[in-house]
Amino acid sequence: MTFKCPHCSRDFSHRTALRNHIKIHGSAIDNYLQEIENERNNIIIQNENEDDEEQQDDETYHLEDVEENLNQLDQQEKMVYNIKETNILDRETNMDIERESVEINVGKEKVNVEDVDIEDDDDDDGDDAEREMEDEEITQKGVGFELISVEYPPVAKIIDVTMSCKTNFPSEEFGNFMNLLVKWNLSDACSNEILQFSKSIARDDVVLPTSVKQGQKFLHQLVEPHLSFKKVAIMKYNNEIYYLHYRQIFDAVKELLSNNNILKHCVFKFTPLYYQNQRIYGEQFNVKWWEKTQKTLPNTANVLSIILYSDATTCDQLGKSSEYPVYLTLGNIPNWRRNKPDAKVLLCYLPMLKAKTNSEKRSRSFLLAKKALFQHAFDVIMHPLLSYKDRDFDLQTNNGDMWCFPHISTLLGDLPENATQTLTYSVNSNHPCHKCLISGEDLNNLRLSNNQIELRMPKMMKDILDQQLAYQYSIYNMNNIFWKYP
């Protein structure tokens, strides 16, 4: 006797094998199958326990009775299979009917999406959920988040990393006052008023700066990383405010280069490297982009190569708490020195969006809010790079002043971070690469020439968004903040 699957027409010799196979199509009828199995076993056991004489007399009757009962059970089982198959088809049809469209504005740009459930970026199965679909316009209000504008503090034109940096404040009160100034981002006028008030109650043994500028000058010479960290609100999602803990990017550069053991190994000029009269590449300052950038700068100017690395990490062995730190290092530091722990500094902690339910976490609106939060946070921490008119600053060292032009050379991260930075679809899309427009079928084609590989350049991506072709090129219809940085 064989058992046939109503879904894929496969035949099985044992009912147990069929029951295990049915779990692929759905496990809703497992309990009912078990009841059928138990009833069949009870019938067989009951007939086997009959006396031998009764079996001989009524053998024909019992065999016919058992066969009739088994046939009835098979018919009931087939009926359950048909009902289950119908329910599956109805559920798939309802999923197609229940699609809704909403509208979202990110900054001044519009994002086109459908409100369908997808997996989270951090999950391996999330790639299947990010299938390409025709986008519909949705708004920030529709998905429940609102980006908050950030008031940027002034950026110092000169970064002093000389080794004459102070290590302590003149007094405890001096340090407390500067902490107060940094914590509340007080204006010079307000701070001066506080100093004027303090003079009326000051004691002879209390030392305070005579002005805010004097205190700031001392603060710039002081290596105290915790003083420069700020907390700003950058997004409101589901009536909850999300904060970014960060410090100015040049404060992190200052802390890094204040280490004389690092500064003495830094290279600020393009340096070609040759081996047996052949050009080789081992460091960032050996590569062609550095050479091209150097030629666009004045002769006395230097390139400051900034490398940012972001990756979510767990804070305990159970994995119940996690943070999203971003670290900074410099391409001017040789690889052997940059790989040491002290050659990296903490730049910020990115806020992590929270979902109330699993269905919300898998929704497309939640995914868009996460991408908008990630982009806005990086826009805040990288804003000082655009604050200078000519994008330059003076770096004061023990060996003299250097005229530097900062340049974001590398953004390191895993696949989810790369997808969020470039705002591209998952690896299961038509164009899965974050750097080029190679189709998924040609992704492992080693015979492609350079002419067949088209890079995702910012100007091209902007034109694609303007032409409403984001879906065809596997990119989300929102403005990428990294496009405005050199």
pLDDT tens, position by position, 469-484: 998 899 998 889 988 8
Pairwise pLDDT comparison (174 vs 67), residue with the higher score: 174
Angle at 371 between CA 367 and CA 373, to 5 degrees: 115
- For 356-383, how does the pLDDT look when each residue is reduced to its tens digit (9 = 90+)? 888 988 888 898 899 999 999 999 999 8
What is the three-class DSSP state of 146? strand
Pairwise pLDDT comparison (174 vs 88), residue with the higher score: 174
> Angle 364-382/415-422 helices, nearest 10 degrees?
80
Q: From start to end of 301-369, where are the E strands?
A: 301-310, 313-314, 322-323, 325-330, 345-349
pLDDT at 86: 47
Instruction: Pick the range with the lowest mean pLDDT from 82-91, 161-170, 272-281, 457-466.
Output: 82-91
Q: Residues 360, 366: contact at Cβ < 8 Å?
A: yes
Pairwise pLDDT comparison (31 vs 311), residue with the higher score: 311
pLDDT at 440: 86
The pLDDT-based confidence of 200 (bands split at 50, 70, 90) is low
pLDDT above 50: residue 41: yes
Instruction: Pick the range with the lowest mean pLDDT from 43-52, 369-378, 433-442.
Output: 43-52
pLDDT at 112: 40
**Which residues fall within 8 angstroms of residue 343, CB to CB, at 6 or more apart?**
256, 262, 329, 333, 337
pLDDT at 146: 81
pLDDT above 80: residue 133: no
pTM over 0.85: no
**Which residues fall within 8 angstroms of residue 163, CB to CB, at 6 or more apart?**
258, 260, 398
Backbone angles phi, psi at 128, to 5 degrees: -65, -35
Instruction: Pick the range with the lowest mean pLDDT from 84-88, 221-225, 331-335, 413-417.
Output: 84-88
- What's the DSSP call for residue 108? T
Provide the 10 A C-beta neighbour count for residue 205: 7
The pLDDT-based confidence of 255 (bands split at 50, 70, 90) is confident
pLDDT above 90: residue 401: no
Pairwise pLDDT comparison (64 vs 357), residue with the higher score: 357
Structure tokens at 80: 């359950």
With CA atoms as reference, report the closest residue to 386 among 486, 300, 307, 295: 486
Instruction: Pick the range with the lowest mean pLDDT from 14-28, 83-97, 157-171, 357-371.
Output: 83-97
Q: Which whole number is the average pLDDT over 413-428?
A: 86
Q: Which whole number is the average pLDDT over 204-221?
A: 70
pLDDT at 154: 67
Instruction: Pick the range with the lowest mean pLDDT from 22-26, 245-249, 254-258, 420-424.
Output: 22-26
